[in-house]
Amino acid sequence: MHALDILGDPVRRRILEVLAAGELPAGAIVDTIAAEFGISQPAVSQHLRVLRDSGFTTVRADGRRRIYAVDPAPLREADEWFDTFRGFWTQRLDALGTELTRGRRDV
Amino acid sequence: MHALDILGDPVRRRILEVLAAGELPAGAIVDTIAAEFGISQPAVSQHLRVLRDSGFTTVRADGRRRIYAVDPAPLREADEWFDTFRGFWTQRLDALGTELTRGRRDV
DNA sequence: TGATCATATAAGCCAGTGGTGATACGTTCT
DNA sequence: AGAACGTATCACCACTGGCTTATATGATCA
């Protein structure tokens, strides 16, 4: 399953956005996501499972809490899919275009 | 509908990859995609419709042919979603948060 | 130990999506 | 004009995926 297949869901994308700011216990994620999307705790938990299983997050136990964090590897893989197309919107003419554009757009 | 929702389909991603090399008539796209995925002409045509409707491609008529080409705008928009996460995999001396997160996980 | 908390799983329902074959539409050729 | 071509649309069907409620699991607290 391609990483972009996993990201083709607004709830999962939002979970990752929330986690981008830092690790969080499942409960905190549920509070945010369930409120924003109007879905239940199990629904969020099932999305967390998909993200776990596909490697987008890591989890560690802390008592009865499960602390989730972003694992960037699959995100990077998904982002690399766009490499083929960056030439369409990159004005750089030098060979380093791709490298420079990625992650250095603020330079 | 978010651009990444459209890209959450392997057939549509492949169509865009094929078009990345240059514009093509629908028939040529059908030949490639139908063969690769074992699907019919209408199936491919319906994916082309989705890509058209969501702005990923432009079309122009050429006699009885329809010439498709990549429109980069939605692709760029989709790619921008990853901006939030690029700090995770780009080495920057000032990205302290990222470094700390990585260190914690690796240790 | 029993109650409570935090989270995950189970089972089932339902809507949406992507597939199919048939067909319509517009263009070109003879 | 009619036939053939290239492509899109239609109507329908099956499957998947995300949701729900109910419940299980494991950890902590009194």
- Pairing of the two strands A57-62 and A24-25: unpaired
Domain ranges across chain A = 1-71, 72-107
With an 8 Å Cβ cutoff, are A5 and B10 in contact? yes
- With tokens 């972009």, the residue in question is A4
Rounded alpha-carbon distances, angstroms, from residue A77 to A38, A48, B29: 30, 19, 26
Residues in B touching A105 (Cβ below 8 Å)? 83
CA B36 to chain centre: 17
- The predicted-structure confidence for B46-76, as pLDDT tens digits, reads as follows 999 999 999 999 999 999 999 999 999 999 9
The gap between B33 CA and C19 C1' (Å) is: 14
Q: Is the pLDDT of residue B87 over 80?
A: yes
Q: How confident is the prediction along chain A (107 residues), in pLDDT tens digits per residue?
A: 899 999 999 999 999 999 999 999 999 999 999 999 999 999 999 999 999 999 999 999 999 999 999 999 999 999 999 999 999 998 655 444 444 444 444 43
Angle between helices A26-37 and A10-20 (to 10 degrees): 130
pLDDT at A90: 87
Give tens-digit pLDDT for B29-42: 999 999 999 999 99
Counts of helices then strands in chain A (DSSP H, E): 6, 3
Record: contact A85-B5, CB cut-off 8 A:
no
Q: Residue A47 is encoded by which pair of tokens?
A: 């999305």
Q: What is d(CA B34, CA B42) in angstroms, rounded to the nearest whole number? A: 10
Pick the closest to residue B31 from B53, B8, A84, B39 (CA basis). Answer: B39
Q: Is A103 helix (H, G, I), strand (E, B) or coil?
A: coil
Query: Strand D nucleotides below 7 A of a protein CB?
Result: 5-11, 17-22, 26-28
Tell if the CB–CB gap between A88 and B81 is shorter than 8 Å: no
Class for the domain spanning B1-71: mainly alpha
CA B90 to chain A, closest CA, distance in angstroms equals 6
In whole angstroms, give the CA distance from residue A12 to residue A14.
Answer: 5
State which H helix or E strand residue A35 sits in: helix A26-37
